[in-house]
Amino acid sequence: MSINDTVSGPNCSKKKLEVCVDSLESAINAIDGGADELEICSSLTEGGLTPSLGLVNEIIEVFKFKGICSNSGDSHQTANQHAKLNIMIRCRGGSDFCYNHMEMKTMLADIRYFKKMQINRFVFGALTDNQELDIQNCSLMILEASPIPVTFHRAFDLCNNPFDAMEKIIQLGFDRVLTSGQRITAIDNDALKLIEELNKKFGTEIEIMPGSGVNLDNVTKFIEIGCKIVHSSCKVKKNIIKVKRDLCMGCSSVYVTDGRIVKSMVEKINK
d(CA 139, CA 126): 10
DSSP-derived secondary structure letter, 49: B
Question: What's the number of domains the chain is made of?
Answer: 1
CATH number for position 163: 3.20.20.380
* pLDDT one digit per residue (tens) for the chain, 271 residues: 333 344 433 345 789 999 999 999 999 999 999 999 999 999 998 999 999 999 999 999 998 888 765 443 444 443 334 579 999 999 999 999 999 999 999 999 999 999 999 899 999 999 999 999 999 999 999 999 999 999 999 999 999 999 999 999 999 999 999 999 999 999 999 999 999 999 999 999 999 999 999 999 999 999 999 999 999 999 998 887 777 777 766 677 789 999 999 999 999 999 8
Contacts of 253 (CB under 8 A, 6+ apart): 237, 240
pTM of the predicted model, to two decimals? 0.89
Enumerate the H helices of 19-129 as residue ranges. 24-33, 53-65, 101-114
d(CA 129, CA 121): 27
Contact 19, 37 (CB under 8 A): yes
Can you give the residue range of the structural domain that contains 113? Answer: 3-269
d(CA 44, CA 163): 27
